[in-house]
């Protein structure tokens, strides 16, 4: 069996979603520049003015074989598709699709100038499509091929990106999802050092409201998305101690590894998490060697795919550092299900963005009672739905 074609599908579907979208946005690194702070991202759909149903578009990658089997990965970005077409098509054609380690190494060596960032994200999508294909060829969910299942269901934490950070709304939304069975929540910090003392009070009001709503037994996490600095983070930690935050996420820029390590040493009982914007086992090893984080958050769809994330999990387990991947949808479910509970204890569930891909999927990812139940279908569970998905364009990328 050989790979004989790569294709992309540009698809659309209707998302009948009736909760508020884009009520608030987190602080971002570029917000120090006023002209960039004004360019708020559209999340998770481009046009919310008209209300539901929303038209949602995406791309899916397909890898076909000369025996008729195909692997699929999606949604993927248009930029991913362009990189795959330009850099990886010729490498994949003619390869044994089950020789995933060989293919990964060839792609990595061929794109040596793309070891991080968008080229590695595109490589990750190819790796995931290959694992989907392998699972279908062997008639098994991918987590079984990786050594699982380690459990029947995965505890999910509710990631509240896009929801209002007005304290009364934080209380309302936290209680709403608490009633749905979630026992851990992550809220996104609205302010950064440039916002001064009023910003500190606003951040603290979010933390206080979240704890008031969640009660004493839930885990609460707070994401600064690389927008803070060391003194500001340490002050936020001290001011929020009485509310028992579990972790502060990405408090400083990803490349400031010594500063991460300093924060971890000084945080005294509050965890520092990061790694979402790091790539491959080598990037993660630099974080681990520096003692930079208490929780690793590499993304299975960015950091090198499942082939690389299994290596990252092995590295992290040797340092006794848990891996709680940056969302990742179904691929994260398969990864976590293949790992020991101590290595991968929990999965992020972005309430808004995580639900968007379901409009395309045959197998919907829907937490029940705050947990994600393991899928039983062969592959990575990213097959397109039989109805409700329109193909806007099909392109052959190689072959």
The angle at the Cα of 336, spanning 293 to 6, to the nearest 5 degrees, equals: 105
Q: Yes or no: say if 51 and 2 are a contact pair by the CB < 8 Å rule.
A: no
Tokens 């998905």 -> residue: 389
Phi, psi of 357 (to 5 degrees): -60, -20
Q: Yes or no: say if 357 and 12 are a contact pair by the CB < 8 Å rule.
A: no
Q: Alpha-carbon distance 19 to 173, whole Å?
A: 11
Tokens 């937490």 -> residue: 367
Residues 6 or more apart whose Cβ sits within 8 Å of residue 100: 127, 130, 131, 134, 307
Cis preceding linkage at 149, omega within 30: yes
Chain centroid offset of residue 66 CA: 33
Q: Yes or no: say if 375 and 363 are a contact pair by the CB < 8 Å rule.
A: yes
The angle at the Cα of 351, spanning 149 to 154, to the nearest 5 degrees, equals: 15
| Total residue count of the chain as it appears in this document | 399
Tokens representing 310 are: 């299994």
Q: Alpha-carbon distance 53 to 12, whole Å?
A: 12
Catalytically annotated residue among 59, 277, 326, 327: 326
Answer yes or no: 326 catalytic: yes
Tokens 């990750």 -> residue: 124
Question: Residue 288: left if φ>0, alpha if ψ -120 to 50, beta else—which one?
Answer: alpha
Q: What sign has the CA pseudo-torsion 24, 28, 31, 35? A: negative
Residues tagged active-site: 326
């Amino acid at each position: 069996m050989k790979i004989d074609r790569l294709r992309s599908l540009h698809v659309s579907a209707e998302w009948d979603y009736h909760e508020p979208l884009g009520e608030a946005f987190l602080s971002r690194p570029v917000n120090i520049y006023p002209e960039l702070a004004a360019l708020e991202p559209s999340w998770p759909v481009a046009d919310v003015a008209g209300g539901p149903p929303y038209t949602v578009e995406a791309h899916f990658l397909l890898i076909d074989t000369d025996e008729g089997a195909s692997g699929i990965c999606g949604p993927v970005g248009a930029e991913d598709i362009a990189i795959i077409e330009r850099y990886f098509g010729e490498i994949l054609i003619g390869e044994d699709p089950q020789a995933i380690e060989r293919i990964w190494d060839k792609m990595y060596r061929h794109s040596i100038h793309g070891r991080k960032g968008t080229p590695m994200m595109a490589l990750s999508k190819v790796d995931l499509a290959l694992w989907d294909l392998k699972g279908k060829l062997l008639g098994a969910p991918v987590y079984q091929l990786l050594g699982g299942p380690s459990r029947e269901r995965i505890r999910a934490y509710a990631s509240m990106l896009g929801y209002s950070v007005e304290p009364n709304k934080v209380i309302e939304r936290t209680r709403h999802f608490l009633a749905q069975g979630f026992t851990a929540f992550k809220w996104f910090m609205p302010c950064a050092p440039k916002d001064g003392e009023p910003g500190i009070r606003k951040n603290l009001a979010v933390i206080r409201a979240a704890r008031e709503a969640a009660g004493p037994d839930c885990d609460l996490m707070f994401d600064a998305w690389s927008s803070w600095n060391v003194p500001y983070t340490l002050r936020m930690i001290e001011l929020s101690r009485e509310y028992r935050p579990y972790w502060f996420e990405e408090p400083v820029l990803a490349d400031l590894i010594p500063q991460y390590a300093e924060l971890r040493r000084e945080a005294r009982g509050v965890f520092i998490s990061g790694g979402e914007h790091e790539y491959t086992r080598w990037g993660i090893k630099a974080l681990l060697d520096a003692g930079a984080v208490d929780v690793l958050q590499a993304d299975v769809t960015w950091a090198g795919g499942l082939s690389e994330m299994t290596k990252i999990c092995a590295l992290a387990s040797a340092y006794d550092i848990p891996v709680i991947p940056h969302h990742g949808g179904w691929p994260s479910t398969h990864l976590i299900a293949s790992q020991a509970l101590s290595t991968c204890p929990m999965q992020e569930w972005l309430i808004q963005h995580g639900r968007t891909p379901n409009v395309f999927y045959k197998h919907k990812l829907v937490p029940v009672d705050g947990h994600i139940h393991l899928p039983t279908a062969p592959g990575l569970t990213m097959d397109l739905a039989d109805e409700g998905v329109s193909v806007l364009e099909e392109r052959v990328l190689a072959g």
